[in-house]
Structure 1
Amino acid sequence: MDDELLTVPQVLSALNGVSRRTFYRWRELGLAPDCIKLPNGQLRVSRRDLCAWLERHREAA
């Protein structure tokens, strides 16, 4: 399902174990995928946004 909302641990796992600290640093620098901040302060990333973000960062081999 493309619209699935992923938790930060799920995103980190999808990024092959990128650390939480790195992910939040990317957010500070405006480099992370788009996030949705829930009223309770938790972050979610839509699977569609994560896939689009990964495509934008793909390098030609």
Structure 2
Amino acid sequence: MLTISDVVEEIGVPLSTFHRWRQLRKGPRSIKLPNGSVRIRRSDLDRWIATLEETA
């Protein structure tokens, strides 16, 4: 499970962009844990990136 910081570093976008994508439901699927932190499964990030490659 990746943190938001891990994801934005890997894909090279500003944190604000990632948060906007989450609000618009355009980013990778994320999970909000009971403590309020957000995690992204590696498989969900990879799947999301693959869909971007297919539409490019």
Return the letter of the residue paired with 1:27: R
Post-superposition CA distance 1:8-58 (Å, at most 9, x none): 100001102x11110010011110100010011110000000000000001
Q: Flag as ranges the 4+ runs of structure 1 deviating above 4 A.
A: none
**1:44 paired residue number:** 39
| CA RMSD, 1 decimal | 0.6
Using structure 1 for the length normalisation, give the TM-score.
0.84
Q: Which has the larger radius of gyration?
A: 1
- Are 1:35 and 2:49 matched, yes or no? no
Q: Name the structure with the higher helix share.
A: 2
The share of aligned pairs that are identical, in percent, is: 41
**Paired positions, count:** 54
State the alpha-carbon separation in 2 of the partners of residues 27 and 8 from structure 1: 11
Long gaps (5+) in structure 1: none
**1:24 paired residue number:** 19
